[in-house]
Amino acid sequence: MKLLTPEIAVRLTANARDRIDAIERGLREPDPRPVARFFSPVGAATWLATEMDVDGILFGLADLGFGCPELGSFSLAELEAVRLPFGLGIERDLLFEAAHPLSVYAEAARAAGSIVLGERRLLTAARRLSGRA
């Protein structure tokens, strides 16, 4: 199953080029917002991707459901090849729109022990700060 649209692939590769360009110029690496969110429909695994190289290796925040989300690389081909019970596979959250840079999601996920719980805490905090709690 294809997880990326051409538009999302372009955004992911642009972020990778921006990071490489910053490194080459001796600048601080950018902290982009995640472009795509992938999840297992039958488990706790969740991934937030910010960039992709020419080989289809994504970079972002990975949470396999063991209580220790971490920044790192993961393969698009491997995500697309996963076969789960009931004929399901890894899915892309079609409605995902990042509200924060990756570093914020990573900090919230580490503190909460999962990306999903971290996202809930971020949403709750944003509502409180806006007076909509």
- For residue 105, tell me if it sits in a domain: yes
Helices 115-130 and 102-112 meet at what angle, rounded to 10? 110
Q: What angle do CA 29, 96, 82 make, to 5 degrees?
A: 90
- For residue 65, tell me if it sits in a domain: yes
**Each residue of 67-91: pLDDT tens digit?**
999 999 999 999 999 999 999 999 9
Question: What is the pLDDT at residue 129?
Answer: 87
Which of the four pLDDT bands, split at 50, 70 and 90, describes residue 1? confident
Q: How many domains does the chain have?
A: 1
**Each residue of 83-132: pLDDT tens digit?**
999 999 999 999 999 999 999 999 999 999 999 999 999 989 888 888 76
- For residue 1, tell me if it sits in a domain: no
**Each residue of 29-72: pLDDT tens digit?**
999 999 999 999 999 999 999 999 999 999 999 999 999 999 99
- For residue 82, tell me if it sits in a domain: yes
Q: Which domain holds residue 22?
A: 6-130
Question: What is the pLDDT at residue 68?
Answer: 95
Nearest alpha carbon to residue 58 among 71, 42, 44, 45: 71
Instruction: Write down the pTM of the prediction.
Output: 0.93
Q: What angle do CA 62, 32, 101 make, to 5 degrees?
A: 70
**Each residue of 13-30: pLDDT tens digit?**
999 999 999 999 999 999
Question: What is the pLDDT at residue 133?
Answer: 57
- For residue 114, tell me if it sits in a domain: yes
